[in-house]
Every structure is written in C-alpha cells, then in structure tokens.
Structure 1
Amino acid sequence: MADVMTTTTWAPRGAWAGILQSGHRGTAGKSGVRVEARDGLGIASLIAPASGDAPLAAAMKARLGLDLPSTPAVASSRTHAAVWAGPGQWLLVANDRTGFADALQALSDVAAVADQSSGRAALRVSGAAVRNALAKGCMLDLHPAAFPIGMAALTSIAHIGVHLWRAEDGPEGAVFEIMVARSFAGSFWSWLSASVAEFGCDIIANEASTGRG
C-alpha cells in the first residue's frame, strides 16, 4: 500500500497570538492604561563598522529621512524610527514591512544588518496611569523630567530585558513603546496584565495579534 502524503501549511502568527485579547481588564470604569499590540512591524538591528557610522548615517538620511541618534534616544518619521541600542548600534523599526527588505538591502553595504521582525514582540502602552503601572517593575525613573519624549533605554522590567522608548504624548498622556524578545512575550504580559489591573486597562489586539490573521 502506497504511503499517504500529507501536506502541512504553516501560517505566520503574531507575537501576541494566544496571549492578548481585545477588551477591558481590571477595575471597571474609565481606564487608566491603554495597551496596543504592535504586530506587523519591520524590525532590524543595525551595527556600524569599526571605521565609524558616518556612511550609515548618510544612507539612513538619504533613504529614510532619519538622523541616527548618538545618545539613548529615538529619531522618528511618519513611517520609521531609529532607536539607539548601544554605541554604534540601533534598531530600525518600520510601521509595516512593505519595502522593508529593500531598505535593509540598501543599508547592508554600510552596516551589519539583521532582520528581527519575527523575533521581537512590541507593545504601545499609554494613559494617565501608565507610569504608575510600569513603576511596579521598571528600574528607571519615567518621570517626564527624567525620561522626556524621544528618550530610549535598554533596561529590565520584572527581570525581563526590554527596549523602551517614549513616543509623542497622546490624548490621554504619555506613550511608551516597549519591545521584548518574542520568547518572553507571555511572561511579560503576565506581569503587565497584573500591574495594570488596578487602574483599568483597555487592550487593543489586531487579527495578527490574536492569531486570526
């Protein structure tokens, strides 16, 4: 009897699939925190050569209109962000992956480039109580005087390594972008979901985030 061949179709899933669900969590009433899954981003690490970052800086400016931060900061446009990740190192973040591979190819002549799009899990957290929620596990002082708009940091939250930066304020206050290794997404959400519960939290997860896309 001939063997029966079976074919398995693998469908991509967002980093928050099976973890985040849209809705409200914690205290009823007006929410003090808003959490939005940031699936579908293009993410890559850029490392300048030992000879310096001038060629990379010029390429980033010409192609994406971004200035490379030389301090723990983020430079943003409508479509991309360059986030400081250490001396001579950055994360390039694109709001979507359209044309991202071409951009990375263009930069590969002037930097070591590694696509991290499927290896990171990203959230945008905001709201009037967002600092109080993050303070339960974050080692940094996130007060506006100490952590202004545009500042970035590599730190730990609840003993999990994170890349954190502050975006432009939204209608309800401060906005923070948080990125963790995808393998820690579940652990990070376990901590964050407990930390925001007392303030009430609105969760926004798109189809890719929930695994339906």
Structure 2
Amino acid sequence: MADAVTTAWTPRGSWAGILASGAFGAAGQPGITIEARDGLGIASLIAGEGRDEVLTQALQRRTGLGLPVTPRIVSSTSHSLVWAGPDQWHLIATDRNGFDELLRDLAPLAAVSDQSDGRAALRLSGPKLRETLAKGCMLDLHPSVFPAGAAALTSIAYMGVHLWRITDDPESGDAVFEIMVARSMAGSFWSWLSASAAEFGCRVTATGRG
C-alpha cells in the first residue's frame, strides 16, 4: 500500500500572484498609487426585521461605530462599517485578530457571513485616480457629489465592485478610494485597472496589510 501523502496548505493573500510591487506605465511622478489590502477581516451583516437598533448598540459597544443608513462608510482605527444596501453592511477589521469572536457575538443579531477570504480590496490614490476610474466607472466621483465617506455599489468594466472614499491623503491632499471585488474577479479587475492606469504612471505596493 502506498504511503499516505499529507498536503500542507499555505494561506495566500487575495492579490498573491496578481500584483507585484514596483512601478509601471508612464515615466515620472506616478499619477496613481495602488496598495493591496490583504489581511483584513471582512464580513457581511444583514439585519433581521426590527433588529437594526439592537445590532447598532452591539456594534457601538464592540467597535465604537454605528450603522450608516445611507451609502456611506464610518471608520475607527480598527474597524469600518460600509453600507451595502438596505439593512445590509460590510464590517471590515484592519486585522483578523479577534474577528471570529466578534462575528460569533453578532450572530444572534444578524445574518453574518465571513467574507475575509472571498473578497479582494485595494486602496487607490493619486492626482490621476478619477481619470483612471472614469474609464470604466459610470459614477460621478467628483468631490462635490462623492465626498469623503461616500460609498457605492456599482460596476467597473462590467465587474461588480463596492467602492468608497476615505479621508484624503494628508500629505498630498489627493482623494483616497478603496475598492473591493469578489476574489474570483481579482485577476480580471487588475487586468483592467493596470491597463487603465498605465497612461498616467503607477506605483504598486503589493504587500499592504489592513
């Protein structure tokens, strides 16, 4: 009888084998900066009928955040809550330490689904970011209509994305966006994004953590 073979599985980040740190595209000062957001804890929350208030209270106790009731993101140093539809949100933790325990505590109050390994997120900034996103996104991302804290469920290049804007870069003053896609679409999304950003020059950090 052949000896049993034991396979050891090594966890891989959402962008492993897709992104590589470095620069590409037009020479000079990069117009786009892209950072992988690996290591995040991500879960979808769907509140049961009449349970919004009790869920809000639980989240405020554990994260200091309330539930946004419009397409927005609210954040602390360790967690974010992003509106994802009526009575639906994404809970995002900057790392996964204690995340399972938090989800277990929330499970009696909402339909909770851990999406940490099923989503891929990027942080995008730079003076040419809006021009890049405009190549595939139909939303108006001008600051007058999409300010810091705004969020949207939309499509880019026919791929479903969850998009939000966080606080502007304190050094450059550039707007900073984050985009989350299904992990199965990460390669296709990167193919579009890298081609769209190359015109303006791009700097990539492929090992960014939450």
Other-structure match for 1:178: 179
Number of residue pairs matched by the alignment: 207
Question: Superposed, which structure 2 residues align to 1:179-198 within 5 Å?
Answer: 179-198=180-199
In the alignment, structure 1 residue 130 sits paired with structure 2 residue 129: yes
TM-score normalised to structure 2 length: 0.96
DSSP 3-state at the match of 2:193:
helix
Other-structure match for 2:143: 144
Structure 2 unaligned runs (5+)?
A: none
Deviation at 1:67, TM superposition (A): 1.2
Q: Distance in 2 between matches of 1:121 and 1:63?
A: 25
Deviation at 1:4, TM superposition (A): 2.0
In the alignment, structure 1 residue 201 sits paired with structure 2 residue 202: yes
Deviation at 1:207, TM superposition (A): 8.0
Q: Distance in 2 between matches of 1:32 and 1:142?
A: 17
Deviation at 1:182, TM superposition (A): 0.3
Deviation at 1:135, TM superposition (A): 0.5
Other-structure match for 2:25: 26
When the two chains are superposed, the root-mean-square deviation of aligned CA atoms in Å is: 1.1
Q: Read off the aligned partner of 1:199 and give its amino acid letter.
A: F
- Farther-moved stretch of structure 1 (148-157 vs 102-111): 102-111
Q: Read off the aligned partner of 1:187 and give its amino acid letter.
A: S
Cα deviation 1:158-213 (Å, max 9, x = unaligned): 100000000000033000010000000000000000010011000001188xxxxx
Q: Distance in 2 between matches of 1:177 and 1:64?
A: 20
Other-structure match for 1:45: 44
Q: Distance in 1 between matches of 2:28 and 2:78?
A: 34
Q: Is the Cα–Cα contact under 8 Å of residues 51 and 109 in structure 2 kept in the other structure?
A: no
Task: List structure 1 runs of 4+ shifted beyond 4 angstroms.
Answer: none
Question: Superposed, which structure 2 residues align to 1:14-163 within 5 Å?
Answer: 14-163=13-162
Deviation at 1:6, TM superposition (A): 1.4
Q: Distance in 2 between matches of 1:207 and 1:137?
A: 24
Structure 1 unaligned runs (5+)?
A: 209-213
Q: Distance in 2 between matches of 1:27 and 1:155?
A: 28
DSSP 3-state at the match of 2:71:
coil
Cα deviation 1:34-62 (Å, max 9, x = unaligned): 00000100000000001231110111111
